[in-house]
Amino acid sequence: MTNLLPDWTQFTLREKIGQMIVVRASGYLFDHQIAYPIWEASNSQLSHWLEMLNLGGVILLGGSAGELFLRSQQLQQWSKTPLFIAADIEEGVGQRFSGASYFPPPMALGEIAKSDLPLATKYAYQMGEITAKEALAIGINWILTPIVDVNNNPDNPVINIRSFSDNPEVVSELSTAFIKGAKNYPALTTAKHFPGHGDTSNDSHLDLPVINHNNERLENLELVPFHAAIKAKVDSIMTAHLLISAWDKHHPATLSKVILTDKLRQKLGFDGLIVTDALIMGGVAKFANSEEIIVKAVEAGADILLMPDDPETAINAVYNAVESGRLTVARIDESLKKIWKAKEKLFNNSNQNISIYQISQKEDRETIKNILDNSLKYSDNLSLKITSDTEKRNLIVVDDILNASFLHRQMPAFTIPNLLDYNLQLVDENTLSYVLEDNRETLLQIFVRGNPFRGNAGLNETSASYYHKLLKKSIVKGLIIYGSPYVLDWFQTEINLDVPWVFSYAQTAESQAIACQKLFNLSASQLTEMSQSLGDVFI
């Protein structure tokens, strides 16, 4: 593959349409490593698509940063046209690809902004810069972030702490700082999810949320950060699978010409790429058959069709719509012009070669540590009232033990309490009932946050009931919550004032070490000594 782009005007109609499609692919090199075979094609299928269908790009998940460096080269070599290589890296490249920098969720910056907006803005800028640098270093050229949704609904199960704040001005300030930081490198940025997914109580991965706010409310809250992102020259905007009843009572935003063309293009003046959210998601997939969804998205004004069920079916659907007169070649060419403008930024730019050895540098890790330190919340009383001669329990609760990648036996949430003579009990929401059978004095550590496909924002009624019963037993002597501040809000209404607590937005090893250090009042030298005694430096 060469960085010089071909002349898109010489493409056939099918080749042009292929450029509008981005498919999901595994970040792993080998077929036997594929984690989601329903969504991720085998290498033979993927190489066939890239060579024969002239697809515009891929979106990757899985693998280490080092493996992605090889995988991205492999994919570019399979394609006759340089590819968009995208990833949902809202919390840094390390969120998806181990070894790279893994930032706290964006709401950690919103927490810092409450007391020091300039400092939070500085960190957001650095986060954008580091994310773009590391993405390009391993071959990712399209960053599907920042999220500019205003999370003003605590029950939002899908945006939640992925948002910077519940304040539209803070979201605007921090997201534009991220975009400006990323612009130090030739990577594409994405504001999402238009026209705003923050005030929903159900997950568009599963169903179609409905927003019933009037136009004035939408203009004065949801759209504010999008105006700011456009002014900051964000490269692309991702659509939301939402029904905005004030604007279009019949179509999700992704399929609405009123919303994508009339509002986003004409009224807001956005001239970059419009990319759909994943078209396999329940919020749009249930609306019509896959061919009709594809055509409607193009009619609405989408330039990039993200993760259709099948790319060949998608290309045929758009091609047939042109042949029938429902769509025009001119409409396809409109999108191709925008796609080529974006690809010229990526592939005709000499400032692109970044060494993979530039990821997760010391100064990058220091930035992450500073964000963790400055966003940490804790009680006024941090005195653990533990009887030294009693057996103690380190009770760790996760959403799902089988999907707790942030925990392994050398993680600080395990190791630090273990060195202080706490015995581990690890449960998830399916086995939470067992915690009531034990009367040992307890350190309670909870890992819970809103996430796509989870279905709820924090505690469900069953888990809240178990926690209530556990706290009534008065055996919880210390509490650490990693993830959702809305879960902390619930616990603050339940726990006694003399129970010390610590809250961290992140769930990473670094956040665990900092939270345990704070709760146990450990000095930096004590923490280092603990880490070294385990043969694994986690600070």
Q: Which residues are catalytic?
A: 205, 277
Sorted by sequence, the CB contacts under 8 Å of residue 73 that are 6+ apart come out as: 139
Secondary structure (DSSP) of 252-310: -GGG-HIIIIIIIIIIS---SEEEPSPTTSHHHHTTS-HHHHHHHHHHHT-SBEES-S-
Residue 26 structure tokens: 């595994």
How long is the chain? 539
Closest by CA position to 327, among listed 339, 316, 337: 316
* Cα dihedral value 109, 115, 121, 124, nearest 10: -10
Is residue 193 reached through a cis peptide bond, with omega within 30 degrees of 0 on the bond before it?
Answer: yes
The amino acid that residue 337 corresponds to is K
Is residue 104 reached through a cis peptide bond, with omega within 30 degrees of 0 on the bond before it?
Answer: no
CB count within 10 Å of CB 31 equals 15
The amino acid that residue 48 corresponds to is H
CB count within 10 Å of CB 374 equals 17
Residue 185 structure tokens: 């490198």
Phi, psi of 480 (to 5 degrees): -125, 130
CA angle 356, 361, 367 (to 5 degrees): 135
Closest by CA position to 211, among listed 190, 175, 170, 240: 240
b/e map of 222-248 (b: 16 or more CB within 10 Å)? bbbbbbbbbebebbbbbbbbbbbeebb
**Kind of pairing, strands 501-504 and 377-378?**
antiparallel
Distance between CA atoms of residues 453 and 471, nearest Å: 29
Asked if residue 81 lies in contact with residue 5, where contact means CB atoms within 8 angstroms, the answer is yes
CB count within 10 Å of CB 298 equals 26
Sorted by sequence, the CB contacts under 8 Å of residue 361 that are 6+ apart come out as: none
Sorted by sequence, the CB contacts under 8 Å of residue 227 that are 6+ apart come out as: 172, 268
* Residue 63, Cβ density class (10 Å: 0-12 exposed, 13-18 middle, ≥19 buried): buried
